[in-house]
């Protein structure tokens, strides 16, 4: 079985975020290119004997972040998978700055870092809501340059590739142009980016 | 609580593996600088609805790899922690090439990529034992340039920092010179590397 | 190390819920003896290759249920543990009726089934919010005889014992009478129940 | 979607283990009706902030126990599922006596407690290998009345029901008589038990 994932490099293929660039999104998508925030409380099961959150759990939280970001534009991974499209993780990176602890109130910030018909890259910040900060579990957008409440605990990024059910790379703009357009808009990319 | 981890950069501080360099280990540590292999079978709980191993689990497997590598020189993380030394993960990277599936026979290859009194970096390869390959769950060393059986599924690396129980960076050669020497030898570094 | 948990049997020691009995709680605790509801959405990581939630995860959800029930009276397990009191699980039972699936909207219903100075027993219902039902993630009380929205997926119970930090059974009314009174009231027991 | 599991009660349907009964297995299956042992070492990820194994993980270990027991007769769950037969958990019970800790050497003992064409019940003991005991990770059978090495940490049982891929109960002796016979023999039941 050769089910290895041989796709062109992200660097040559996709539209990377230009940190200094203007937000190309139109007036009807004020949040395009910005951060999406969702929230959770640390579960007991997520701690380990160092009394902090076991590091692998941050990857779960990253996934919750991107799931809820996609949901904010009326999509769900469940529906995407029911249409026969998978979006597995190709690469993951995380940097652990301050450990999260049991019952901490956590905000997950997610944005799209790069986007192409073949791939999608997300960036994440995990932040802890401090006692003096107003807690909210509601999903919320944050403009790219706006301050993001919470103490920074972890940063990370994941790269994904669009696959068919039989685990072959597909071009999203070919097989699901509606999905492609909506995610492109969320990413803050011009729609003719490919 | 300021429990952020502010330590000097790995780049300026530690002795990185020189991919082309000769193995500096002496004749009494033939495997120094090489790979250590351990094994597991994929658990049902580790799969997800894509019918592959959920990606966060590879970080658990990396940990099993480094735990067993350390055990191969007669140490255990449990004892290290009982001496008041923690070695949390500061950074983790992984690249997913071929997915592992339920009941696959997995080999975890681990080696030390960089080492200093303040930090430790591990590198990993997750490989699948194919039906035609001889399966073994026994721990085993592999010389750096030797072939490593199994189909490559995932690669990764983790960076760690030595901490005291109160979560402050410590220099391992100061607080536990015996540990430092043994791990240095395992890493294939000259013992006067600092 | 003898750290086995030898405590008197729950049957002889505690005040079990009388399913047919009147609610003994006074007029100031209308919800005493009833159910507490909290909510979550199924995470991708919680699914397995059968495309349903892996069964061990329901025990995590039970814990979230009892954590949030305790929080509803202004307590938190984190604070209880910081006071040197542990409440580990002594016994757990669960019955799986309908499987939960990825992204399902889940309500966790929890109530106290039995209570004594030595032990605590919780009962659980996991229910799925159907598309035609109004979804809410807010914590909410439900009177014992009131209808509970959602399709029943799983039932369960856990028994717990109060322990000191060195893992020895303690009588909660002796070491923390304030905690004892508050939980007794939540349980719908007369406060002089021991 | 009505995917609830409505099957006849285990009590009326299956052949329960008779604790005092003679072992009905013939001379060619000396271990039928006995215990099967497999082994693991406690992973860091399995611990929680109480510094013990988080209780839900024992359900994972139970699954490893029954998986390896089935493998001991040349079957695998993977193959069973590839034949279109699922065996989900209908009910689970566990009793926690002594907590397992990081790096403990654990033996999982599994036996079949009841068996019928519709259902299967397993019983489990989790035991810790003490320093003075000889450690082995090899799978091994234990006669029903033989001593079982290790300190008893946890006991448990799980009930399972045979399902088709579309999640409907099936009679194993009808859809897979070969499987039925082999498991019946493992269970120590007479082969004409239905």
- The residue among D1, D49, D50, D42 whose CA lies nearest residue D153 is D42
Asked, for residue A97, whether it belongs to a domain, the answer is: yes
Residue the block writes with tokens 């701690």: A47
- The residue among C9, C37, C32, C7 whose CA lies nearest residue C21 is C32
Asked, for residue D4, whether it belongs to a domain, the answer is: no
Chain D residues with CB under 8 Å of C5 CB are: 96-98
Asked, for residue A4, whether it belongs to a domain, the answer is: no
- The residue among D40, D7, D27 whose CA lies nearest residue D127 is D40
User: What is the distance, to the nearest Å, from the Cα of residue D30 to the centroid of all Cα atoms in its chain?
Assistant: 18
- With contact defined as 3+ CB pairs under 8 Å, the chains touching A are B, C, D
User: How close B72 gets to chain D, by Cα (Å)?
Assistant: 14
DSSP notation for A98-161: S---TT-EEEEEEEEEEE-SSEEEEEEEEEEPPTTSPP--S-EEE-TTS---SEEEEEEEEEEE
User: How close C93 gets to chain D, by Cα (Å)?
Assistant: 4
Half-sphere exposure of A51 (CA within 13 A, CB side): 8
Residue the block writes with tokens 């309908």: C98
User: How would you classify the pairing of strands A35-41 and A105-115?
Assistant: antiparallel
Of D64, D78, D103, the CB nearest to B102: D78
- Residue C44, pLDDT > 60, answer yes
pLDDT of residue D21: 39
CB C56 to CB D59 under 8 A? yes
CB D92 to CB C90 under 8 A? no
Asked, for residue D160, whether it belongs to a domain, the answer is: yes
Q: Which two tokens stand for residue B3?
A: 């429990």
List the single range of A116-130, B49-63, D37-51, D71-85 with lowest mean pLDDT: D71-85
pLDDT tens digits for C118-174?
A: 999 999 999 999 999 999 999 999 998 889 999 999 999 999 999 998 889 999 999
CB A56 to CB B59 under 8 A? yes
CB D103 to CB B76 under 8 A? yes
pLDDT tens digits for D11-25?
A: 444 555 544 433 333
Domain that holds residue C100: 31-187
Asked, for residue D5, whether it belongs to a domain, the answer is: no
Asked, for residue C10, whether it belongs to a domain, the answer is: no
Per the structure, how many domains does chain D have? 1
Q: How far is CA B77 from CA B70, B85, D57, D102, in A?
A: 8, 9, 21, 9
Q: List Cβ neighbours of D178 (8 Å cut-off, separation of 6 or more).
A: none
pLDDT of residue D78: 86
Of C90, C96, C167, the CB nearest to D90: C96
User: What is the distance, to the nearest Å, from the Cα of residue B158 to the centroid of all Cα atoms in its chain?
Assistant: 7
The chain D residue lying nearest A103, using CA atoms, is D49
d(CA D27, CA C145): 57
Higher local confidence (pLDDT), B44 or B167: B44
- The residue among A164, A187, A190, A191 whose CA lies nearest residue A177 is A191
Asked, for residue A181, whether it belongs to a domain, the answer is: yes
Chain B residues with CB under 8 Å of D102 CB are: 77-78
CB A49 to CB D54 under 8 A? no
pLDDT of residue B15: 56
Of B52, B90, B93, the CB nearest to A93: B93
- Residue B20, pLDDT > 50, answer no
pLDDT of residue B188: 81
pLDDT of residue C4: 58
- Residue A35, pLDDT > 90, answer yes
pLDDT tens digits for B127-173?
A: 999 999 999 999 999 998 889 999 999 999 999 999 998 889 999 99
d(CA A118, CA A172): 6
Chain C residues with CB under 8 Å of D52 CB are: 88
d(CA B20, CA C152): 62
* A-interface mutation test, from B52, B56, B82, most A Cβ less than 10 A away: B56
CB C99 to CB D91 under 8 A? no
Chain B residues with CB under 8 Å of D77 CB are: 44, 102-103
Chain B interface, Cβ < 8 Å to D: 43-45, 60, 63-64, 67, 76-78, 102-103, 137
Q: Are B58 and C67 in contact (CB under 8 A)?
A: no
Q: List Cβ neighbours of C62 (8 Å cut-off, separation of 6 or more).
A: C92, C94, C108, C110, C122, C124, C156, C158
Position C10 confidence tier, pLDDT thresholds 50, 70, 90: very low
- Counted across chains B and C, CB pairs separated by less than 8 A come out at 27
Q: Are B14 and B116 in contact (CB under 8 A)?
A: yes
pLDDT of residue B144: 85
DSSP notation for C131-168: TTSPP--S-EEE-TTS---SEEEEEEEEEEE-EETTS-
Residue D14 has what DSSP assignment?
Answer: S
Q: What CATH number does the domain containing A102 carry?
A: 3.10.129.10
pLDDT of residue A167: 86
Position D27 confidence tier, pLDDT thresholds 50, 70, 90: very low
* A-interface mutation test, from C74, C78, C135, most A Cβ less than 10 A away: C78
The pLDDT of A138-159, averaged and rounded, is: 94
pLDDT of residue D167: 86
pLDDT of residue B167: 86
- Average predicted confidence (pLDDT) for chain A: 84
pLDDT of residue A124: 98
Beta-carbon count within 10 A of B43 CB = 19
Q: Which two tokens stand for residue C10?
A: 């729950």
Q: Are D98 and D122 in contact (CB under 8 A)?
A: no
- Residue D160, pLDDT > 60, answer yes
The chain A residue lying nearest D52, using CA atoms, is A49
Q: How high is the ipTM of this complex?
A: 0.83
pLDDT tens digits for C102-121?
A: 999 999 999 999 999 999 99
- Residue A173, pLDDT > 60, answer yes
* Burial profile C79-97: b = 16 or more Cβ within 10 angstroms, e = fewer: ebbeeebbbbbbbbbbbbb
* B-interface mutation test, from D42, D78, D101, most B Cβ less than 10 A away: D78
- Counted across chains A and C, CB pairs separated by less than 8 A come out at 29
- The residue among D122, D130, D136, D121 whose CA lies nearest residue D153 is D130
The pLDDT of A146-173, averaged and rounded, is: 95
CB C98 to CB D3 under 8 A? yes
d(CA B59, CA B63): 6
- Residue D69, pLDDT > 50, answer yes
Q: What is the biggest distance separating any 2 CA atoms in chain A, rounded to whole angstroms?
A: 55
The pLDDT of C14-42, averaged and rounded, is: 60
- The residue among C36, C47, C142 whose CA lies nearest residue C99 is C47
pTM: 0.86
d(CA D181, CA D174): 11
- The residue among C36, C33, C28 whose CA lies nearest residue C68 is C36
Chain D residues with CB under 8 Å of A49 CB are: 44, 47-49, 51, 102
DSSP notation for B10-71: HHHHSEE--TTS-----TT-TTTTSEEEEEEE--GGGB-TTSSB-TTHHHHHHHHHHHHHHH
Q: Are A163 and A170 in contact (CB under 8 A)?
A: yes
- The residue among A154, A157, A122 whose CA lies nearest residue A35 is A122
- Show the CA angle centred on residue C81, arms to residues C78 and C83, nearest 5°: 115
d(CA C129, CA C126): 10
- Residue D9, pLDDT > 70, answer no
pLDDT of residue B83: 92
User: How close C118 gets to chain B, by Cα (Å)?
Assistant: 31
The pLDDT > 70 percentage for chain D reads 80
pLDDT of residue D11: 42
Q: How far is CA D179 from CA A65, D175, D188, in A?
A: 44, 9, 14
* Helix, strand, coil content of chain C in percent (nearest 5): 20, 30, 45
Helix (H, G, I), strand (E, B) or coil at D73: coil
Chain A residues with CB under 8 Å of C137 CB are: 137
- Residue C30, pLDDT > 90, answer no
Q: How far is CA B58 from CA A91, B141, D45, in A?
A: 12, 21, 12
The pLDDT > 90 percentage for chain D reads 70
pLDDT tens digits for B96-117?
A: 999 999 999 999 999 999 999 9
- The residue among B28, B14, B127 whose CA lies nearest residue B73 is B28
The pLDDT of B45-55, averaged and rounded, is: 95
pLDDT tens digits for B56-83?
A: 999 999 999 999 999 998 888 888 999 9
d(CA C113, CA C188): 10
CB D5 to CB C52 under 8 A? no
d(CA A71, CA A108): 14
- Residue D7, pLDDT > 50, answer no
pLDDT of residue A145: 85
User: How close D40 gets to chain C, by Cα (Å)?
Assistant: 18
Q: List Cβ neighbours of A19 (8 Å cut-off, separation of 6 or more).
A: none
The pLDDT > 70 percentage for chain C reads 80
Asked, for residue C13, whether it belongs to a domain, the answer is: no
Residue D97 has what DSSP assignment?
Answer: S
Chain A interface, Cβ < 8 Å to D: 44-45, 47-49, 51-52, 54, 56, 101-102
pLDDT of residue A33: 75
Q: Which of A67-71, B188-192, C3-7, D188-192 ranks highest by mean pLDDT?
A: A67-71
CB B45 to CB C51 under 8 A? no
The pLDDT of A173-190, averaged and rounded, is: 87
The pLDDT of D113-130, averaged and rounded, is: 96
pLDDT of residue D145: 85
The pLDDT of A3-13, averaged and rounded, is: 47
- Average predicted confidence (pLDDT) for chain D: 84
The pLDDT of D133-148, averaged and rounded, is: 92
Q: Are A36 and A72 in contact (CB under 8 A)?
A: yes
pLDDT of residue C28: 32
Handedness of CA D97, D98, D100, D105 (dihedral sign): negative
């Amino acid at each position: 079985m050769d089910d290895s994932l041989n796709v062109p490099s992200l660097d040559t293929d996709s539209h990377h975020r230009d940190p200094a660039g203007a937000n190309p999104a139109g007036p009807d998508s004020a949040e395009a290119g910005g951060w999406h925030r969702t929230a959770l409380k640390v579960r007991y099961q997520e701690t380990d004997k160092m009394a902090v959150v076991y590091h692998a759990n941050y990857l779960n939280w990253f996934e919750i972040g991107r799931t809820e970001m996609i949901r904010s534009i009326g999509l769900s991974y469940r529906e995407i998978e029911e249409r026969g499209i998978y979006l597995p993780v190709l690469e993951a990176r995380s940097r652990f700055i301050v450990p999260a602890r049991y019952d901490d109130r956590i905000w997950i910030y997610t944005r799209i870092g790069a986007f192409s018909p073949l791939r999608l890259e997300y960036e994440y910040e995990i932040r802890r809501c401090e006692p003096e900060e107003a807690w909210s579990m509601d999903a919320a957008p944050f403009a790219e340059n706006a301050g993001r409440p919470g103490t920074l605990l972890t940063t990370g990024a994941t790269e994904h590739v669009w696959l068919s059910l039989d685990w072959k790379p597909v071009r999203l703009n070919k097989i699901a142009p509606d999905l492609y357009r909506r995610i492109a808009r969320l990413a803050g990319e011009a729609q003719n980016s490919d």
